[in-house]
Amino acid sequence: MPKKSKRSKKTKSKKKFKLISFKPEKVDYTKVRHETSVDQSDRQVPYNLRQSGPTKVELLISTRVRKSPYWHLSMQAGCWRATVYNRIYHPRGYVRPEKGGAMVEYQAIKKHVTMWNVAVERQIRVKGPDAEKFTDYVITRDATKISTMRGRYVILCNYKGGVLNDPVLMRVAEDEFWFSLSDSDIGLYLQGVNADKRFNVEIDEIDACPVQIQGPKSKALMSDLIGDQVDLDNMPFYGLAEAKVGGRSCVISQSGFSGEAGYEIYLRNATLYAEDMWNAVLKAGKKHKLMVIAPAHHRRIQAGILSWGQDMDHEHNPFQCNLGYQVSLSGKGEWNKKADYVGKEALEKMKEQIKNGEKPYKLQLVGMELGGKPIEDYANDFYLISNANGGKPVGYITSPWYHPEKGINIAMGYVPYEGNLNNNGFPIGNFGKKYKVHLPKKYSNKPVEAVVVPIPFTESFHANTREVKK
């Protein structure tokens, strides 16, 4: 196991983490080459594994990319950098590096409560007499088991079994579902599935934009915000409720992208009423030390929560990215969904192959602890992984970050699948196996030791099915 960073002892005595400053790396782009030793032969479009470092260009703010109803409010809150997610500008930083950067935001979500602008989670509404039948056809879980005013984390797959999207699915009425999207334009896909109108439904994006309220003080803030409109004490995980925030109609969900206690507020007619809801949250949050931050990727990595497009995409099947339970489990824990759905044939074939000791894919998502200086910002590349004795890369890191409580870097990444299964028959990594990870020079001048460990790295406030079913 890699040695713990010396940083861990120092941080325990300090109230805030201080970002280590590094000089920007100079990259000779004429010498950048694509790494071909990683076996991606089961992909049509292999991941780009060129180690080109930071991209020193300005993100163009144009009309091709949408500004969410909360964009100007994020600017007021100090947002200084953004990316594009679902063709919407997505805030990715509020505290500047010279003031502590992302790790200051980390302390806020660990100790107090935070608000995130996540309007990029576009809401695709499926409504009509066949809403349940259609939804059941496009997801791997059993939609018939989802009660009205309940949500579920679900996946949609293509006919090959590749993961197209992993949204939160909310059933807001008997005949109405909302797909709260991750980063792929699944709305157009859903309309394409029903191009022949065999399902009696309407499929459209609606003007309902969420913010997330995450952190140990989230319930206290929500109680002050909505009062007795919702019985928060008896609200289940992924439970939904109607409430007014700032006098405006919202759907409240007890859910989030952090592993901490938290809620999501879906504001209806967000384009008209963004300020009313947002400012009401800020006012209620003052006594709870509310901080507006970027989505807490440091905390979601600890929880083993996947980010579509980063940790998996449409050429990853659920079994190789720790989502096998989504194929074998349906809505409330029942096994083996009986109804047909997109990708069922391919996924059931893979499930049988895995059961019989075969390896229907090349690489498996695993958790790792690794050496090097603390990684306290987003990775610019998929950092390469070699075997313990070095040599050519055999895999790559997708989501790395520093874990302050463990005093070590953690990461999710892909390495060759060795056929290891957990007690439920789902593929896992070879725990204890060692590798070398090629980090940028600002973190290490040489490849660092890494070891495969179980996911999650830190338990979630609400344990995910993936965490419970070992």
> What is the torsion angle, in degrees rounded to the nearest 10, for the CA atoms of residue 232, residue 463, residue 355 and residue 368?
140
The answer as to whether 433 is a domain residue is yes
Q: Which CATH number is 282's domain given?
A: 3.30.1360.120
Residue 370 lies in a domain: yes
Task: Answer yes or no: is 174 within a domain.
Answer: no
Q: Are residues 389 and 460 in the same domain?
A: yes
Q: Are 323 and 330 in contact (CB under 8 A)?
A: no
- Please count the other Cβ atoms lying within 10 Å of the Cβ belonging to residue 41: 7
Q: Is 289 left (phi over 0), alpha (psi -120 to 50) or beta?
A: left
Cα distances (Å, whole numbers) of residue 64 to 67, 85, 88, 89, 460 = 10, 13, 9, 10, 37
Residue-level pLDDT at 4:
52
Q: Is 247 left (phi over 0), alpha (psi -120 to 50) or beta?
A: left
Residue at 40 is within a domain: yes
Which DSSP helix (H) or strand (E) runs through 395?
A: strand 390-403
The pLDDT value given to residue 330? 57
Name the domain count of the chain.
Answer: 2
Considering the domain architecture, whether residues 254 and 380 belong to the same structural domain is answered as no
Bridge partners, residue 448, by sequence: 437
What is each CA distance from 89 to 61, 84, 117, 257, 305, in whole angstroms? 8, 5, 10, 18, 22
| Statement to judge: residues 397 and 282 lie in one domain | no
Kindly state whether residues 264 and 281 are assigned to the same domain: yes
Query: Looking at residue 32, which CATH number applies to its domain?
Result: 2.40.30.110
- Asked whether residue 137 is domain-assigned, the answer is no
pLDDT of residue 227: 96
Which regions in the chain score pLDDT beneath 50? 5-15, 17-22, 470
320 Cβ contact list (under 8 Å, min separation 6): 361, 363, 364, 365, 414, 417, 427
| 271 belongs to a structural domain | yes
Domain region containing 249: 208-288
308 and 418 together in one domain:
yes
* CA-to-CA separations, 246 to 179, 243, 253, 267, 393, in angstroms, rounded: 25, 10, 17, 10, 53
One domain, residues 308 and 457: yes
- Amino acid at the residue 111: K
Task: Tell me if the bond preceding 440 is cis, omega within 30° of 0.
Answer: no
**From CA 92, how far away is CA 90, in angstroms rounded?**
6
Residue 108 belongs to a domain: no
244 shares its domain with 304:
no
Pure H helices in 292-439 = 297-302, 325-328, 344-355
> In this structure, are 274 and 311 located in the same domain?
no
- Answer yes or no: is 302 within a domain: yes
Same domain for 303 and 233: no
Instruction: Identify whether residues 302 and 389 lie together within a single domain.
Output: yes
Residues 235 and 303 in one domain: no
Residue ranges of alpha helices (H) inside 46-142 are 71-76, 102-111, 131-138
Do 264 and 385 lie in one domain? The reply is no
Q: Tell me if residue 74 falls in helix, strand or coil.
A: helix
